[in-house]
Amino acid sequence: MIEILSKDLLGRVARFRTKSGLVETPAFVPVINPSKELVSPRQLFEKFKCSTIIANAYLLLKAQKEGDIHDFLDFPGSIMTDSGAYQLLIYGQVDVSPAEIVHFQERIGSDLAVILDVPTGGYATYKQAQATIEETIRRAKESVSLRTRSDILWVAPVQGGTHANLVAESARQLSELDFPLFALGSPTQLMEHYQFDQLVDLVMAARQNLPSHKPIHLFGAGHPMIFPLIVAMGCDMFDSAAYALYAQNDRMLTSDGTYRLDEVQEDFCYCPACRQYTVSEMRRLEQTKRAQILAEHNLHVCFYEIARIKQAIKEGRLWRLVESRLSSHPSLVDAMGRLCLNANYIEHFSPISKRRALFISTDWSLFQPEVVRHQTRVACYNLPGSNRRILLLMEAPLARPYYSSPKYLQIEKVLEESAPELVNRIHIVFVSPYFGLVPFEISGVYPLTQNETPHSPPANWTTRIGEHLFRYLQQHDQYRALVGIFPKEDCWKSFAGLCTRRLKKRMDFLVCAHSDFRYQSLLRIVRRIGPLLQH
């Protein structure tokens, strides 16, 4: 169904074909209302290179539109039609049956068509949400038998409201039906109230229970500052009328927030729409003309953000883009925290290696797939040789790769010259504040060498390293002694002590705090290591 060209996190640059052409994802799909057009479908296709738009089949039916939808909307690309479920959510009812909507969308020749589901909304009780799921699934099954055209891609909306377990169950049941696309319904109210943390829970619940080879659509996501987040969670398409609604209220969208036109003091935007007028000139325009210019500005920002996301996916830097965007609003910071809780699942779908260095700049960066993958694999890492009885931990040096650093080379030299019998008995592991434990023999593997990190360690790093060390020692019981060489003794004790108390097994410990790596100091350490093997 979908051809993947590039991927990063759960996001992907991909494409699939409709009867009217190719749709490349991630795709922002503008909502078109033929009775209130600020930007025409033809302008979207020619000026903005927009391949897909969405219109409301229920409103078109009430307006008695007949014939091919591409003709009366004047749009040669792919057209998606919604079913009127949004009107059902807002007004409580619509005077049309699910079967009528199916037949109407077939008559007008939609490329992508949505069944008339029953939206849960953002405030439904658990019992109400269950009822909407049951009715939506019943209608989905009925729609399969009603189809007469095979060239229309039908979309099944996943319901469940704010109840993540119901969203997951809805996704599981719908994925068993014959639908080429799926959508997450009823998120608009959450986004209107900036409840982005709940949005993450719902999208991830749906994503983890829908087939990954089929596109996923998110209804009502129209602000560019959340585009990177929803793409990172695996949403391939998303629609909104926000570009027009905001313009009618004199508001300008940007990738990090919204500005009211009367509050803008500088000409900060250089998109084609804004280059026509200064801000002061725009404020003096007649309201309809001003709304048209602002709508074009909002569209330029949305499509520009999509281009940025595609570039980030191709470079393997989508997490970095998400970090930068989600720091722009407190509610998005909460959403980033929820996204980090899904780090293990996201890691499973992310590329093993990339062509660019890994950037670590905030505590959020520690949840990137590359960091999570390293820590997971090290916990069950197969040691080279079964006779290594001493685990020697040392601070990760600044030099890359670690095994080329003067500190490591000095230790290696002392061992070879003064205690060659210990060389094959000692396992040297570097301790990185960011990656955790790094065995020296794999320290050149991506991204352990190919990364950029701050010089100051992250907050509470010793506690995290203590947890990593504890899990590592749980899986490797062949060590008989543990040696730590660190500039400060308290740094070593802060996480080694945690492990010794929790492991509850006999091990010898040697703490060596040294601010330098002079030969004589290292020689004394080596001489103290030898007797540990006798226990």
* Domains of the chain as residue ranges with CATH: 3-348 (3.20.20.105), 368-534 (3.40.50.10630)
User: Which is catalytic among the residues 8, 68, 71, 82?
Assistant: 82
Predicted pLDDT of residue 532 = 64
pLDDT in tens, 67-104: 999 999 999 999 999 988 777 776 667 888 999 999 99
Residue 196 has pLDDT above 70, yes or no: yes
Residue 514 has pLDDT above 70, yes or no: no
Average pLDDT of the residues of the chain: 88
What's the whole-number mean pLDDT along residues 460-475? 82
Predicted pLDDT of residue 417 = 81
What's the whole-number mean pLDDT along residues 446-468? 85
Residue 486 has φ and ψ, to the nearest 5°, of -135, 155
Residue 205 and residue 165: Cα distance in Å, rounded? 7
Which run of H or of E encompasses 54? strand 52-56
Predicted pLDDT of residue 353 = 84
Predicted pLDDT of residue 486 = 74
Which run of H or of E encompasses 525? helix 519-529
Q: Which residue has the tokens 């900060």?
A: 268
Q: Where are the alpha helices (DSSP H) in 147-275?
A: 164-174, 188-192, 196-207, 227-232, 242-248
Residue among 368, 353, 354 nearest 322 (CA): 368
Full-model pTM: 0.91
Residue 220 has pLDDT above 70, yes or no: yes
436 forms bridges with which residues in the sheet? Answer: 432
Predicted pLDDT of residue 527 = 73
Residue 380 tokens, joined: 């069950």
For residue 345, the number of C-alpha atoms closer than 13 Å in the C-beta half-sphere is: 18
Residue 431 tokens, joined: 């301790």
User: Could you tell me the CA-to-CA distances from 214 to 153, 179, 196, 211 in Å, in that order?
Assistant: 11, 9, 24, 6
Residue 206 tokens, joined: 């749906």
Residue 532 and residue 530: Cα distance in Å, rounded? 5
Helix, strand or coil for residue 89?
A: helix
* CB-count burial class (<10 Å; 0-12, 13-18, 19+) for 370: buried
Residue 177 has pLDDT above 80, yes or no: yes
Predicted pLDDT of residue 95 = 83
Q: Where are the alpha helices (DSSP H) in 287-360?
A: 287-315, 318-326, 330-340, 343-349
81 forms bridges with which residues in the sheet? Answer: 55, 113
Q: Which residue has the tokens 């479908």?
A: 41
Residue 160 has φ and ψ, to the nearest 5°, of 140, -10
Q: Which residue has the tokens 């209608």?
A: 139
| Portion of the chain with pLDDT greater than 70, in percent | 91
What's the whole-number mean pLDDT along residues 459-479? 82
- ∠ at Cα 439 (435, 440), nearest 5°? 115
Residue among 276, 303, 251, 287 nearest 44 (CA): 303
CB-CB contact of 9 with 235 (8 Å): no
pLDDT in tens, 475-502: 887 887 777 777 765 666 666 665 666 5
User: Greater confidence, 41 or 465?
Assistant: 41
In b/e form, how buried is each residue of 489-514, taking b as 16+ CB within 10 angstroms? eebbbebbebbbeeeeeebbebebee
pLDDT in tens, 285-332: 999 999 999 999 999 999 999 999 999 999 999 999 999 998 888 999
Residue 82 annotated to the active site: yes
